[in-house]
C-alpha cells in the first residue's frame, strides 16, 4: 500500500509505503488498547458499583456474589460429606483391626504389650446413631481426623508388638527340641541313675534310649546347626546340633551319618540312621539334651511337644 503526502509549503509530495507487517502491528495495537480500556471500564464499574448507585450494576454484583457464595458452600459441604464418609470407613477398619489383633493374640496364646489408654478409651461401651456428615464443621472434622490418626498409630504399635511376639514364639518353638528324634517312640532306658549294662554298677544315664530297628531314620528334634558329625569312642557315630542360647542335642550310636559340620538343619530332618556303634549293647538311639554342657532330662522337652500336638 502506498500513501502520498502533499505539503502546501514545500509543494512537494512524499510517498510512504505500508507493508502487511505494518498493518498487522497497527491492528494488534488497536486490539490491545480496546481490551485495556474494556478491562479498566469493567473493573471500575464493578469496583465502584455501590458508589455509582446504578441499580442494574448493584443487582449484577449481588447476583455474582450470591452465586460465588453458593458454589463455595456446596464445595465445602461436598468435601465435608466425602471426608465424613471416609472417616466412618476408617473407623470401621480400626474396629476390624482391633478384633483381628485380639483374635490372633488368643490363638497364639500370647498377650500383646499393654498400651497406655486415655481416660476416654477406658469408659464403658457406648453407641448411638451415626452423626450426619452435614452436621460436622471443618474444625470438628479436623479434630476427628487427628484423633483417628493417633488411634491408628497406637493400633499399629500394638499389632507390631504382637507380630514381634508371635515371631519370637515361633522361633523359640522351632529351636526347642520338642519333636521325637525317631518315629517309633519306644524307650528302653530313661534319664537318671541306673545300672550300667557293661559294669553292673550304678551310673548316671544322661539321655534317653529309643529302641528302633537298624537303619531307622534319626530326625533332628529341632532346627539348628550341626556342631559335630563324627565317630566318638563311646557315642559311636554321633551328631550334635546347636540350637542357640547354649542349648544342644546329641544323637549317638548311629549306623550312618547324613550331615556334616556347619550344616543348617530343620526340625524333623533326617540326620542319621539307627545303629549300634560305640559303647552299645544293641540297635538303639541314645538322645541327649544339654544346656551350657549340663545334661537335661529330654523327656521334659518331648512332653511339651506332645502337649502342643494334643492341643491343636
Q: Judge whether 82 lies within some domain.
A: no
Residue 103 belongs to a domain: no
Which tens digits make up the pLDDT trace of 55-106? 655 666 677 777 777 777 777 777 777 777 777 777 777 777 777 777 767 6
Give per-residue burial for 250-274: e unless 16+ CB within 10 Å, then b. bbbbbbebbbeeeeebebebebbbb
Q: pLDDT averaged over the chain?
A: 77
129 pLDDT tier (thresholds 50, 70, 90)? very low
Nearest residue to 155 (alpha-carbon basis) of 99, 232, 84: 99
Q: Which domain holds residue 29?
A: 2-47
Domain presence at residue 33: yes
| pLDDT tier for residue 180 given thresholds of 50, 70 and 90 | very high
Q: What's the CATH code of the domain at 292?
A: 2.70.70.10
- Max mean pLDDT among 5-9, 36-40, 83-87, 300-304 falls in 300-304
Please name the residues in contact with 219: beta carbons below 8 A apart, sequence gap of 6 or more: 179, 180, 181, 182, 183, 268, 269, 270, 271
pLDDT of residue 181: 95
**pLDDT value at 42 more than 90:** no
pLDDT, position 191? 93
Residue 276 lies in a domain: yes
Q: What is the pTM of this model?
A: 0.52
What's the pLDDT at 1?
Answer: 58
| Separation between Cα atoms, residue 195 and residue 205, nearest integer Å | 9
Number of domains in the chain: 2
Q: What is the pLDDT of residue 133?
A: 46
Q: Where are the beta strands (DSSP E) in 105-191?
A: 187-189
pLDDT tens-digit map of 268-284: 999 999 999 999 999 99
Model confidence band, residue 119 (pLDDT cutoffs 50, 70, 90): very low
* 233-280 confidence digits (pLDDT tens): 999 999 999 998 899 999 999 999 999 999 999 999 999 999 999 999
Per-residue model confidence as pLDDT tens digits over 11-29? 556 666 667 776 777 778 8
pLDDT number for residue 221: 95
Please tell me the predicted confidence (pLDDT) of residue 286.
Answer: 96
What does residue 27 show for φ and ψ, rounded to 5 degrees?
A: -65, -40
Question: Is 80 a member of any domain?
Answer: no
Report the share of the chain in percent with pLDDT over 90.
33
Question: Rounded to 5 degrees, what angle do the CA atoms 224, 168, 261 make?
Answer: 10
Residue 105 Cα to chain centre, angstroms: 16
The pLDDT-based confidence of 162 (bands split at 50, 70, 90) is confident
Structural domain contains residue 31:
yes
Asked, for residue 181, whether it belongs to a domain, the answer is no
Per the model's pLDDT, the better-predicted residue between 108 and 227 turns out to be 227
90 found inside a domain: no
- Report the distance separating Cα 270 and Cα 259, nearest Å: 9
Answer yes or no: is pLDDT of 311 > 90: no
Model confidence at 111, pLDDT cuts 50, 70, 90, reads low
Q: Give the model's pLDDT for residue 306.
A: 58
Amino acid at each position: 500500500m502506498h500513501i502520498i503526502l502533499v505539503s502546501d509549503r514545500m509543494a512537494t509530495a512524499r510517498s510512504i509505503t505500508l507493508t502487511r507487517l505494518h498493518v498487522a502491528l497497527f491492528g494488534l495495537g488497536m486490539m490491545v488498547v480496546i481490551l485495556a480500556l474494556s478491562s479498566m471500564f469493567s473493573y471500575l464499574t464493578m469496583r465502584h458499583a455501590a458508589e455509582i448507585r446504578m441499580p442494574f450494576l448493584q443487582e449484577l454484583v449481588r447476583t455474582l456474589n450470591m452465586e460465588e457464595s453458593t458454589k463455595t458452600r456446596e464445595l465445602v459441604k461436598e468435601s465435608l460429606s466425602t471426608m465424613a464418609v471416609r472417616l466412618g470407613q476408617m473407623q470401621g477398619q480400626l474396629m476390624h483391626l482391633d478384633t483381628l489383633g485380639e483374635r490372633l493374640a488368643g490363638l497364639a496364646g500370647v498377650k500383646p504389650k499393654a498400651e497406655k489408654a486415655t481416660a476416654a478409651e477406658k469408659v464403658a461401651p457406648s453407641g448411638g446413631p451415626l452423626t450426619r456428615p452435614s452436621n460436622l464443621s471443618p474444625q470438628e472434622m479436623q479434630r476427628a481426623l487427628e484423633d483417628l490418626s493417633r488411634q491408628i498409630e497406637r493400633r499399629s504399635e500394638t499389632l507390631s508388638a504382637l507380630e514381634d511376639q508371635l515371631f519370637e514364639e515361633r522361633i523359640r518353638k522351632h529351636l526347642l527340641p520338642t519333636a521325637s528324634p525317631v518315629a517309633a517312640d519306644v524307650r528302653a532306658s530313661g534319664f537318671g541313675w541306673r545300672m550300667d549294662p557293661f559294669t553292673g554298677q550304678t551310673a548316671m544315664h544322661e539321655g534317653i534310649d529309643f529302641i528302633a530297628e537298624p537303619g531307622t531314620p534319626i530326625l533332628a528334634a529341632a532346627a539348628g546347626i550341626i556342631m559335630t558329625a563324627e565317630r566318638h569312642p563311646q557315642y559311636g557315630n554321633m551328631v550334635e546340633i546347636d540350637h542357640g542360647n547354649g542349648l544342644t542335642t546329641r544323637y549317638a550310636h548311629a549306623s550312618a551319618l547324613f550331615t556334616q559340620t556347619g550344616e543348617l538343619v530343620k526340625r524333623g530332618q533326617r540326620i542319621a540312621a539307627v545303629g549300634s556303634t560305640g559303647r552299645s549293647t544293641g540297635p538303639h538311639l541314645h538322645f541327649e539334651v544339654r544346656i551350657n554342657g549340663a545334661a537335661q532330662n529330654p523327656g521334659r522337652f518331648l512332653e511339651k511337644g506332645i502337649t502342643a500336638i494334643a492341643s491343636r
